[in-house]
């Protein structure tokens, strides 16, 4: 599908001088400008407290693009963007001035602010008469538990319809996450075995080697379950487990995803593991433990690692465990799905020199080294019947000669275009919180793991007698 320019509209970034804007939004807007994918008309208005003005906001945007743009910096593309950039200081009557500055009848308003700031901003946007014609993008985390998510939804719905709301989860903007649907529903072969008859279990791992990166205060409030599992991991899970939609229309896809969330059993605290990294070494470099990070309490019990076994009570998945795992300061950055098929009923090769035969498994490498790997058993050349594990590999880079685009580019474009497919719907978000609620109310004790390890041994016990694919 080739993307088209969205209709004329203003793009307003609330929190324009913050970290998300600097690292992701300004570079994404720049790359959209470079690909001729900004709206055909309209301003890009930054809104923030502090002492920026138009000129300084442009300098800020240029600096962030030079530092973070995936395609580098090109003067001509920059000119296309910078002529549209303008700034409104967020003071007493900032929203009134914003309403005057927004000239188009439609607009995208991106709330690049901490969750606690959202309700007040939403009310002020309503009071300034900016409700109609707006598409509102709200960042994760969407709430911090079921009650707060419901409250946030209700505050937003006082001013905006659900059709105006785009809850962003940047994992849905990743090419490899979108490819889950294409892989499943574009290949007849795999869909036939994508069920409890053929699949033993699935694993989803989101491993990061970074720590909390100066976001200690935020992370203390969040932890790995709220930061990654309830949103990114659950979104990936819903795409893996959903039934075929009747079409690729946004609501058709979101309806099927919502059914997965409804069929997920609430987490059993005994089937969860919480960990926190202590000091250790990553790539040979000593790194401090979580409790020594700035902004973190010395006796913090916040988890930086979370693993769980999830059950989906549907005809397709009953009895198939889904093992989820995420952690900071693990040995490397890798997000992977591992689909492990059932073993052969009888092994003829036993005692004939077979080494380490494992059931077929399919690995979807979400990042990095984006691709897919399928492993199976083949006969080792020679007079004996002895088998060995081999694999077939697909790599995005080798096949398409390109690196996947930044998730935020696609998501910003789709939100400007009013396409909800890659955004989380109210019912799914609330149901996701319902699923994690028992683990929030009765958290498992926090176990320490060394930075640079694959998490606490309790996570291996959780999945035993199976084993984690990434280790």
Binding footprint of ligand BG6 on the chain (CB under 6 A): 208, 227, 335
CB 227 → ligand BG6: shortest distance, Å? 5
Taking Cα atoms as reference points, which of 467, 67, 451 lies closest to residue 459? 467
CB 58 → ligand BG6: shortest distance, Å? 27
CB 471 within 8 A of CB 307: no
CB 372 → ligand BG6: shortest distance, Å? 18
Residue 335 or 338 with smaller CB distance to ligand BG6: 335
CB 243 → ligand BG6: shortest distance, Å? 27
Residue 311, Ramachandran bin (φ over 0: left; ψ between -120 and 50: alpha; else beta)? beta
CB 222 → ligand BG6: shortest distance, Å? 7
User: In this chain, which residue has its C-beta nearest to ligand BG6?
Assistant: 227
Q: Is 174 exposed, middle or buried (0-12, 13-18, 19+ CB in 10 A)?
A: buried
Active-site entry in 170, 232, 361, 420:
232
Active site residue 232: yes
User: Which structure tokens are listed for 67?
Assistant: 């530092």
CB 390 → ligand BG6: shortest distance, Å? 30
Taking Cα atoms as reference points, which of 118, 117, 128, 120 lies closest to residue 88? 128
Please give the torsion angle defined by the CA atoms of residues 192, 198, 200 and 201, in that order, rounded to the nearest 10 degrees. 0
Residue 227 or 311 with smaller CB distance to ligand BG6: 227
Residue 38 or 237 with smaller CB distance to ligand BG6: 237
Residue 208 or 336 with smaller CB distance to ligand BG6: 208
Residue 42 or 275 with smaller CB distance to ligand BG6: 275
- Which of the residues are catalytic? 232
């Amino acid at each position: 599908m080739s993307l088209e320019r969205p209709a004329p509209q203003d793009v307003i970034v609330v929190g324009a001088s913050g970290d998300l804007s600097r690292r992701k939004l300004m570079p994404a807007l720049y790359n959209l400008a470079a690909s001729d994918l900004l709206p055909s008309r309209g301003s890009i208005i930054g809104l923030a407290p502090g002492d920026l003005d138009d000129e300084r906001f442009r300098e800020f945007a240029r600096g962030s693009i030079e530092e973070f743009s995936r395609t580098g910096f090109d003067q001509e593309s920059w000119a296309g963007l910078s002529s549209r950039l303008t700034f409104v200081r967020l003071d007493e009557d900032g929203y009134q001035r914003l309403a005057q500055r927004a000239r188009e009848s439609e607009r995208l308003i991106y709330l690049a602010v901490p969750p606690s700031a959202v309700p007040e901003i939403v009310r002020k946007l309503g009071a300034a008469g900016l409700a109609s014609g707006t598409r509102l993008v709200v960042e994760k985390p969407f709430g911090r538990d079921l009650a707060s998510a419901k409250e946030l939804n209700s505050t937003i719905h006082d001013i905006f319809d659900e059709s105006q709301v785009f809850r962003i989860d940047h994992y849905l903007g990743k090419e490899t996450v979108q490819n889950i649907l294409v892989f499943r529903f574009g290949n007849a072969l795999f869909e036939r075995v994508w069920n409890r008859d053929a699949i033993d279990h699935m694993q989803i791992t989101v491993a990061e080697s970074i720590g909390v990166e100066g976001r200690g205060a935020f992370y203390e409030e969040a932890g790995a379950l709220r930061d990654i599992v309830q949103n990114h991991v659950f979104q990936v899970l819903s795409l893996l487990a959903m039934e075929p939609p009747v079409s690729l229309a946004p609501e058709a896809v979101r309806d099927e995803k919502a059914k997965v969330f409804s069929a997920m059993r609430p987490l059993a605290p005994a089937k969860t593991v919480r960990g926190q990294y202590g000091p250790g070494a990553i790539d040979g470099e000593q790194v401090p433990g979580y409790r020594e990070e700035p902004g973190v309490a010395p006796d913090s019990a916040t988890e930086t690692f979370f693993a769980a076994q999830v059950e989906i009570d549907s005809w397709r998945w009953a009895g198939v465990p889904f093992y989820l795992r995420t952690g900071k300061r693990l040995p490397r950055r890798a997000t992977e799905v591992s689909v492990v098929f059932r073993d052969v009923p009888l092994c003829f090769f036993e005692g004939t020199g077979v080494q380490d035969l494992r059931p077929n498994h399919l690995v979807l490498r979400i990042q990095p080294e984006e691709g897919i790997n399928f492993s199976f058993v083949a006969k080792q050349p020679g007079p004996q019947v002895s088998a060995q594990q081999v694999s077939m590999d697909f790599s995005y880079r080798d096949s398409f000669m390109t690196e996947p685009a930044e998730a935020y580019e696609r998501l910003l474009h789709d939100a400007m275009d009013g396409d909800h497919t890659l955004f989380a719907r109210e019912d799914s978000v609330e149901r996701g919180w319902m699923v994690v609620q028992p683990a929030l109310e009765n958290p498992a004790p926090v176990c320490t793991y060394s930075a640079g390890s694959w998490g606490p041994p309790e996570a291996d016990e959780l999945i035993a007698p199976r084993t984690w694919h990434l280790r």
